[in-house]
Chain A
């Protein structure tokens, strides 16, 4: 079955530590996205990638970094510069970057501070 796989499901970060969240898709989609969701809130865009080896900052990119070396993979690193990382992180993909295409989501990674 095609879809998006995020791992791990739960992640704990120590002070001053960088952590990496994995996102893999087998849908052959060009565009991939990372969102942050805080309790009772909507989704806020962290980074997006429209094609391999290219990515753009979203609305809240500070303290995060990404790479897109393969079409299937779009890992997100939460750096120690992100002072309030506790949130639910969602990865998504779509066929193209355009808004006339639905986005397909993984089941998220919940990140907490130790």
Chain B
């Protein structure tokens, strides 16, 4: 059962450009999280945004949440080659505030 879906599936940009990834989900949520996965490694937590929040920042990362559109976006500013990775959104099902459901991810490639 898939709750979140990222868009685009793949994104290729030059170093220094901004990268925007989107996540859409189907049911109401309590929390939405973004994770990064480098090739062959585990996931690393980036940001958690609660349903009553609209925007959060962490360093070069900016996450927005629009609960009326059931969507979130992750913006990485001034991308670096080291940002090359897959990015996943994960949501709960609003009623349970329990397990996370992960999307299929956006594969970001940042060319030096």
A64 within 8 A of B: no
A35 to B90, CA, bound (A): 13
A99 touches B92 (CB 8 A): yes
- A42-B45 contact given A98-B98, A100-B30, A100-B31, CB 8 Å threshold: no
- Chain A residues, Cβ within 8 Å of B97: 98-100
* Contact for A105 among B1, B30, B42, B99, CB less than 8 A: B42
- Chain B residues, Cβ within 8 Å of A106: 42
Contact with A along B27-44 (1 / 0, CB 8 A): 000110100000011111
- Chain A residues, Cβ within 8 Å of B103: 42
Report the count of interface residues on B (CB-CB < 8 A).
26
* Contact for A103 among B41, B100, B105, CB less than 8 A: B100
* Contact for B41 among A97, A104, A108, CB less than 8 A: A108
7 cross-chain pairs, A with B, having the tightest CB-CB distances, nearest first: A105-B42, A99-B92, A102-B45, A42-B102, A43-B102, A42-B104, A105-B43
- Of the A-B pairs whose beta carbons lie under 8 Å apart in the complex, a sample of 17, sorted by A's number, is A4-B42, A33-B99, A42-B102, A42-B104, A43-B88, A45-B99, A58-B99, A90-B42, A97-B98, A97-B99, A99-B33, A99-B92, A99-B100, A100-B50, A103-B33, A103-B43, A103-B100
